[in-house]
Chains A and B, each alone.
Chain A
């Protein structure tokens, strides 16, 4: 604690340093006078006494300085001096300062913004107890439900329970439903329904995470014992704020979801957003209630209703290898023990070869992470390069300025200033500039981050990610700011102080120094051009990838289709409600009758909405159950609505949608080709749920392949089933229309509400927009890399312009002589342009191999072209040359306008 008190005294001295100086002066003065007096009393003459006193005292100024330094603040005072000197210097050349500050703010701000997204999506740990101990079974790569055997991505509830009971490596195990249920419900007593994002979790979920309720209690094992037994809910802090305005009486409220009333038992802490980054549920409900929550899965006691992510908390002394061994042993045991396991030879073989990998869960799960890790890393690289280019620019500006200050430094060095002291001063000036730029950059980043978040979100709602400014972020920004200052400040500082004293003093701006080739400044401009070229090539590749994806043939006609979602849970219909298919049909009929509507249909999916898939058995075909086919459950008009061409047979008609209609299916051409004997698909039968059912469904038609999950997927097997055959909860409703979207949109919504006044409608948009959302990450990369590529080129232009203006102004004299000797204006112009072209040519020559070498980093983010695409390269090179010529033209023209007489006189 002594050092703390000492620091306190030092700071006190700093704050009252005038007083301390005056005190010291006074006591030293007293000392001198007393000594003089004493000498005089001994009979010495006054002036002799005076000099004796001084002699005995020593060097007054030196002692004062020594006393002053003993307080340890001299560095600080010098720093303040340097800072204020630097600021005054910058204010004297406002143009330069503004350019420098703006490029710094953009460079640092862009880095901060991209980093804050990276931090939120990829780097930050979950706000739970000891996140490092959490592991996930499998890799969390699938969502939804499957009966696949053996599967390591999703697990059934009975499996979770057995794992929890039998394992020896986890202190406890939790399970969480692999998707969020977005539904509409109401607070009891409120007449309006509102959107609610519900997450089903096991009773052990909160205890395993070590998350305690901010108010009330969290869910516990007692809530997760019997099916439908515990209608309770924990709400998020955000939901409590948004929907209940932080009503302190929240624990006495109930939620109505469908026909069930849930009692709110607790509010989760503000920082807790669940275990999936970017999903932030509003409400947590125990898995025991899953039958009441859309999609109404009834998998609570189904050994192969695999819907869950399973999370374990490692015991403190257990490592990953031990845990993996134990989990795999149990995985085999538990699956074999299920009585309804399909234990033929083939499945046993498959099970034996299946290995469950454990994934660290410290950062939570995230679908965003898979989608954006790579784009964010690429963008981080891009903005890093932009910042480097900005640094090169500022370094060049400072170099030019320090040449102008050569005389000042020469004088100071001649007067005894040490070189290290001057370098320190110049670095302090750079640092001041960088810090000011960094502060502006943070302000810029706050806006940019929210802009980026909107771009990522794609849909109507912003992804709930916490991208607010935090300490980590500020440290990152401070870090890059310091690095930036060193990068652009060091070389000019070293150069400026490295002087031939006599030369500089003799003539601060003689022709000799003016004609110096300044190889350093040239090298900086060349590297700017090279980096810019790399960024331009990248931007070109990403843009063309985006265009290629936009032009992919989807197999359906995405134009003139309106799509929206309805939520039948908002009117209390459950999965098996017979009224549901009637409702779909009524809505289809009502909408179809609207003017301007060509066709309308419900479906379980359109595009990029996940899938429901399962095994099929084809009659009379020695098939096996490894064939996993995605199903789309649709209305009669689906093919007309989506514009999917029929290839053979017929599509659905009203006769297929009766209560006793024979079971039929329409299949994709790939399915017809790969799963049925050649040419025989129409009229063949197949079935689900085992070989016994292989005669269930008749194939009545074959349609063209469509893209189903991604634009870049290979042609896929897919079958279409009438929704009367598979009554289920459908959300998607599509309308093919002609005319004005907004008019149709409101007519359709009115028609739906005419059928069912309280049915909640959401996400009304076009099919085209929905397809566009599936390439949000590609669009983000293409747009941002283009923006930053152009910014880089612009900065390089400033660099070229600045350097050439400087060179021209230094060579005015030479140009004057040339002109006096008869050189024409065009000659002079060419003289300057030639130099620029040389610089750019060297930059381009360096940039091309760098761009080609860097290509493999982005190869798997491209579609329809290679990283070595000659077209993109050529366009970038030409663009770079053109822009450079424009930037160089102004100084060249200025050079050609030099009046020989004026030029000669000005020396």
Chain B
């Protein structure tokens, strides 16, 4: 199976979007979800989620609370805040602008 590293700077975007779709998720679920929804194309170095999540906690984009998994294990669940939702639209807009520009360059024959 061919897997690609995610483009730099898009980790926040991916996490924010995943949380926006999935509601409350813990770290493992976020990693899994990114991989699944991208049809296994995008591969996150799973550990790098955690520093990113810490930074997002500081920024106030997400909050965390401890809960229990289906397998009855303690896990920290992350949830988007209002600030996080706002940040998601910012990140999406920015991403689309960059991608649009790149596409334009590529398609110019």
Near B by CB (< 8 A), chain A positions 1-27 give: 2, 5-6, 9-10, 13, 23-24, 26-27
A893 within 8 A of B: no
Closest chain A CB from B100 CB (angstroms): 29
Contact B28 A56 (CB under 8 A): no
A901 at the interface (CB under 8 A from B): no
Q: Does A470 contact B (CB under 8 A)?
A: no
Q: Does A35 make an interface contact (CB < 8 A)?
A: yes
Q: A10, A31, A69 — which one has the most chain B CB atoms within 10 A of its CB? A: A31
Tell me, in angstroms, the Cα distance from A30 to B46 when the chains sit together.
12
B57 touches A31 (CB 8 A): no
Q: Closest approach, in angstroms, between the C-beta of A888 and any C-beta of chain B?
A: 60
A35 near B46: Cβ-Cβ < 8 Å: yes
Contact A10 to B58, CB < 8 A, known contacts A27-B76, A30-B26: yes
User: Which of chain B's residues 2-33 have a Cβ closer than 8 Å to chain A?
Assistant: 26-28, 31
A10, A67, A69 — which one has the most chain B CB atoms within 10 A of its CB? A67
Q: For the complex, is A242 an interface residue (Cβ under 8 Å from B)?
A: no
The answer on a CB contact under 8 Å between A9 and B60 is yes
Asked if A30 and B73 sit within 8 Å, CB to CB, the answer is yes
Question: In whole angstroms, how far apart are the Cα atoms of A617 and B66 in the complex?
Answer: 103
Query: Given the complex of chains A and B, what is the CA–CA distance between A10 and B60 in angstroms?
Result: 11
Indicate the size class of the contact surface on chain B. Answer: 20 to 34
Are A67 and B60 in touch, CB under 8 angstroms?
no
Interface residues in B53-82 by Cβ distance below 8 A to A read 54-55, 57-60, 66, 69, 73-76
A23-B76, A27-B76, A31-B28 as given contacts; A9 in contact with B57, CB under 8 Å = yes
Residues on the B chain within 8 Å of A879, using CB: none
Contact of A63 among B31, B51, B66, B69 (CB under 8 A): B51
* Contact assessment for A9 and B58 in the assembled complex, using a CB-CB cutoff below 8 Å: yes
Nearest residue, chain A, Cβ from B76: A27
Q: Please report which residues of chain A, range 850-882, place their CB below 8 angstroms from some CB of chain B when the two chains form the complex.
A: none
Interface membership of A58, Cβ < 8 A: yes
- Across-interface contacts of A71 in B (CB, < 8 A): 54, 58
Chain A interface residue number, banded: 20 to 34
**Cβ-defined contact, A27 with B50, below 8 A:** yes
Query: A527: shortest Cβ distance to chain B, in Å?
Result: 49
Cβ of B75: which chain A residues have Cβ within 8 Å of it? 27, 30
- Does the CB pair B50–A24 fall under 8 Å? yes
Q: A27 to B47, Cβ gap below 8 A?
A: no
Q: In the complex the two chains form, what is the Cα distance from A57 to B47 in whole Å? A: 5
**A60-B59 contact given A27-B75, A27-B76, A30-B75, CB 8 Å threshold:** no
B42 to chain A, nearest CB (A): 13
Contact of B27 among A27, A60, A62 (CB under 8 A): A27
A70: min CB distance to chain B, Å:
5
Task: Report Cα–Cα, A700/B27, bound state, in Å.
Answer: 112
Identify B46's interface contact among A13, A57, A69, CB under 8 A.
A57
Contact indicator A34/B46 (Cβ below 8 Å): no
Q: Does A165 have its Cβ within 8 Å of any Cβ on chain B?
A: no
B45 touching A58 by the CB < 8 A rule? yes
- Alpha-carbon separation in the docked complex, A5 to B81 (Å): 14
Closest B residue to A24 using CB positions: B50
Q: Which residues of B contact A57 (CB under 8 A)?
A: 45-47
Tell me, rounded to whole Å, the shortest Cβ–Cβ distance linking B95 to chain A. Answer: 22
Q: Does B104 contact A (CB under 8 A)?
A: no
Task: Note all chain B residues with C-beta closer than 8 A to A31.
Answer: 27-28, 31, 46
A3 to chain B, nearest CB (A): 10
Whether A66 touches B60, Cβ cut-off 8 Å, given contacts A27-B75, A31-B46, A58-B45, is: no
A58 touches B47 (CB 8 A): yes
Cβ of A460 < 8 Å from any Cβ of B?
no
Most buried by B among A34, A56, A62: A34
A659 at the interface (CB under 8 A from B): no
Task: For B83, give the chain A residue with the smallest CB separation.
Answer: A2
Instruction: Considering the complex, give the chain A residue whose CB is closest to the CB of B77.
Output: A27
Q: How far is the CA of A57 from the CA of B66 in the complex (A)?
A: 21
In A30-79, which residues have CB < 8 Å from any B CB? 30-31, 34-35, 56-60, 62-63, 66-67, 69-72
Instruction: State A57–B51 Cα separation when bound (angstroms).
Output: 12
List the interface of chain B (C-beta within 8 A of A).
Answer: 26-28, 31, 45-48, 50-51, 54-55, 57-60, 66, 69, 73-76, 83
Listed A/B pairs (19) with beta-carbon separation below 8 Å: A5-B60, A13-B58, A23-B66, A26-B74, A27-B27, A27-B50, A28-B47, A30-B73, A31-B27, A31-B28, A31-B46, A35-B28, A56-B45, A57-B45, A57-B46, A60-B47, A62-B47, A63-B51, A66-B48
Residues of A in contact with B (beta carbons under 8 Å apart): 2, 5-6, 9-10, 13, 23-24, 26-28, 30-31, 34-35, 56-60, 62-63, 66-67, 69-72
